[in-house]
Homo-oligomer: A and B are copies of this chain.
């Protein structure tokens, strides 16, 4: 790879750039971001080699888009307008249906590959970028057959070099499933944080009692609202459905406690312990 245009130089884009730089030392990395401070940081940190504008992507061999998913809906069609016939455009957004729909009839649809690397941390911005973020992580590719064969191959080569495991899925199924294993945990974590903070208003000592279990459960509540609000908006129907099921399960647990049915409380937890064997596969 000779050059990479990074649209969004935050945690995901920045980490992608760091790995690319290591694997392809000759690759020049251009950064595009509406956040000037992030762009300066990315340059200072060596995440990018040069600042650029979105119109410059006609020079790009690869464009990697890692920005809030609502902005992708506007920016992705523009980028497809600007690129050359040979350019590969990848987006890494946490929703896929609306994004795939937004460029469905674009004349350069075959230059685009819809991806979702299941990787990240609760931090954001170029300062949060790290090497090997994608190592052994699952990367969901959607509508692979809509991408030109040569560009599929190029993208898969990059993903392989970064150590990702590939899974193929249609955008509708992706958005439905990811609501359960990613979007819902963010809401459960944010609302747990909220519940405890509300209490803490009058009881400042409470956090002194918090241990590593609480910290683990509430970790995702540190995540960026600017990134997550558009995700919830785009995946509204699925997220509302999972959230409803989650609330029902909590209400059921509460009613078991209210009815003093602690045998059933035990069974609820025992059955869910099964998550151990399921999670043993997750790094």
**Chain A interface helix/strand/loop/mixed:** helix
Contact with B along A236-259 (1 / 0, CB 8 A): 100110111111011101100110
Chain B residues whose C-beta falls within 8 Å of the C-beta of A25 in the assembled complex: none
Chain B residues whose C-beta falls within 8 Å of the C-beta of A211 in the assembled complex: 118-120, 137-138, 181-182, 282
**Chain A residues proximal to chain B, CB less than 8 Å:** 118-122, 137-138, 140, 167, 169, 174, 177-178, 180-182, 184-200, 203, 205-223, 225-226, 228-230, 232-233, 236, 239-240, 242-247, 249-251, 253-254, 257-258, 260, 262, 265-276, 278-279, 281-283
Residue contact B247 to A193, C-beta cutoff 8 Å? no
* Contact (A247, B254) CB under 8 Å given A122-B213, A269-B229, A275-B221: yes
* Contact (A206, B191) CB under 8 Å given A211-B120, A214-B182, A257-B232: no
Residue contact A209 to B190, C-beta cutoff 8 Å? no
Residue contact B187 to A253, C-beta cutoff 8 Å? yes
Knowing that A194-B249, A199-B245 touch, tell me 19 more A-B residue pairs with CB under 8 angstroms.
A119-B211, A120-B212, A121-B212, A122-B213, A180-B195, A184-B195, A184-B196, A185-B214, A190-B268, A193-B272, A194-B268, A194-B272, A195-B242, A197-B272, A207-B279, A216-B220, A228-B269, A230-B262, A236-B257
